[in-house]
Structure 1
Amino acid sequence: MSEATTSPSTRRSNTIPSLHGLLVLGGQSTRMGRDKAFLDFPQSPGTSTTTSCPLYLHLLGLLHQACPAGVYISHNASQRDTLEQAHHQLPPRTFLVQDDARIVSADIGGPAAGLLSAHLANPETTFLVLAVDFPLVTLDTLTDLVSRYTPPVTCYLHTSDNHPEPLLSIWGPDALEELQQNAMGEKKKTGPCWTARRIWKRLGVETVGEDGKTMVDGDFVFKPREEHWLFNTNKPEEWEQATSILSSGRTQ
């Protein structure tokens, strides 16, 4: 991967070549007790109407609005049948990407599996990445991220600890290629944040704290305008809290 030499201000553009959405459905959801992707998302919060849809379909709709060129759904083998049965419900330009056999054989799991499977299928594509763990994301979340994208990789920062969130982010092909080399290399560095920090360090991004993992709000990493955008749901009690927030209308 060649190192960038231009300033962030000249690299950023509201028009991102080959931008597609990437909805990452994740792993086995063992802490939740059921697959998070298929949780019932309330479509009319705060009203007497009690309609709902699977969480992944709600987030897929947001990604399609932010990425008219198309959206990929990264999934594992256990999710394939359910997704294929629901194919008629999926918007046009929705593409399913199962975990790549090369990734599985290399024993690469976690967030890297979804990112790299999509990259191997589409090596020239820039992805707006959204994990199904973030039910309080809005269209404003995604358009804000797109407007602030600085190649080759841009992430939101968690407001609680200033750590980057690799699954609410934008990854260009150069960054994904470097992640692939690190994950499949001898040292097996599969963490997307590990790769992103190495890239940012080369580009002069500062870190704070003795661990070198907390980041300074800037061009490549920045805090969301709304803290709840990064509310993560992995357990039943967190899902209950998320649906309570939705019902109260506090995400508006």
Structure 2
Amino acid sequence: MTSTVKLYGLVLSGGQSRRMGKDKGLIAYHGMPQRDYLYRLLEQVCDKAFMSIRKEQATEIHADFKTIVDEDIFKGPFNGILTAHKEFPEVAWLVLACDLPLIDEKALRYLMERRKPDSFATAYALKENPLPEPLCAIWEPNGLKNAVLYMQEGKNGSCPRKFLINNDTHLVHPENENVLMNANSESDYKEALTKLE
């Protein structure tokens, strides 16, 4: 099933990167800051691309990049996702965390080809541990509307994965599972560099 709903891309780069000890969005796995690299990838596959940032990051982002400043209404990754949804409520969002050093255009297109617009989201998941990866997923407008209600209720925490587990999420297994590797620590960073060689 194809969708007439526009698909925008969102790089989540407003996190504090406490475990890594430095801004994960600025790490250059591909010859440029990771947040820039992911933005360029999303530009290739989406109608528009945006970078989700904290207010204090606004002065360090080059004018070439479209940004959405987190409103700080919600906690965690939902902060960036739902701020973007508020700004463009009728579009679907292909959301990428900036700690995915091995994601590539092929993997994004594979996910998009398997999109189910009538689900709340289409998310990548590993075969042996089939939990949705909310930060490498296509979030549909209806799913995001329900996520706002979920967060406003305040009973279930602020975990996007928990929301997707408990709602209508279409899971897709990547052709190459390495694309879902998260780099959140110095050892992850070194491992990612080894895999990229």
1:241 matched residue in structure 2: 191
User: What displacement does 1:172 show?
Assistant: 0.8
1:110-149 CA distances to partner (integer Å, 9 max, x unpaired)? 1111110100111111111111110100101110111001
Alignment of 1:70-219 (within 5 A): 70-83=48-61, 86-87=62-63, 90=64, 94-101=65-72, 103=73, 108-151=74-117, 152-187=120-155, 189-200=157-168
User: What displacement does 1:18 show?
Assistant: 1.1
Q: Where does structure 2 lack aligned partners over 5 or more consecutive residues?
A: none
Partner of 2:130: helix, strand, or coil? coil
Partner of 2:195: helix, strand, or coil? helix
Please tell me whether the aligned partners of residues 111 and 172 of structure 2 are also in contact (alpha carbons under 8 angstroms): no
Q: Does 1:23 align with 2:11?
A: yes
Partner AA of 2:132 in structure 1: P
Decide which of 28, 37, 43 is 2:25's aligned counterpart. 37
Percentage identity across paired residues of the two chains: 31
4+ aligned runs moved over 4 Å, structure 1: none
Task: Tell me the distance in 1 between the aligned counterparts of 2:21 and 2:154.
Answer: 34
Task: Tell me the distance in 1 between the aligned counterparts of 2:51 and 2:101.
Answer: 16
Please tell me whether the aligned partners of residues 62 and 139 of structure 1 are also in contact (alpha carbons under 8 angstroms): yes
Task: Tell me the distance in 2 between the aligned counterparts of 1:199 and 1:147.
Answer: 21
User: What displacement does 1:95 show?
Assistant: 2.1
Structure possessing the higher radius of gyration over alpha carbons: 1
Please tell me whether the aligned partners of residues 164 and 221 of structure 1 are also in contact (alpha carbons under 8 angstroms): yes
Q: Where does structure 1 lack aligned partners over 5 or more consecutive residues?
A: 1-11, 43-51, 206-219, 248-252
Please tell me whether the aligned partners of residues 41 and 55 of structure 1 are also in contact (alpha carbons under 8 angstroms): yes
2:43 matched residue in structure 1: 64
Task: Tell me the distance in 2 between the aligned counterparts of 1:198 and 1:242.
Answer: 31
Decide which of 231, 241, 246 is 2:181's aligned counterpart. 231
Question: What's the TM-score once normalised by structure 1's chain length?
Answer: 0.73
Task: Tell me the distance in 2 between the aligned counterparts of 1:127 and 1:175.
Answer: 10
Task: Tell me the distance in 2 between the aligned counterparts of 1:196 and 1:157.
Answer: 11
Question: What's the TM-score once normalised by structure 2's chain length?
Answer: 0.92
Please tell me whether the aligned partners of residues 178 and 195 of structure 1 are also in contact (alpha carbons under 8 angstroms): no
1:48 matched residue in structure 2: none
Task: Tell me the distance in 2 between the aligned counterparts of 1:16 and 1:228.
Answer: 31
User: What displacement does 1:188 show?
Assistant: 5.1
1:6 matched residue in structure 2: none
Partner of 1:133: helix, strand, or coil? coil
Partner AA of 2:185 in structure 1: K
Q: Does 1:54 align with 2:33?
A: yes
Please tell me whether the aligned partners of residues 179 and 190 of structure 1 are also in contact (alpha carbons under 8 angstroms): no
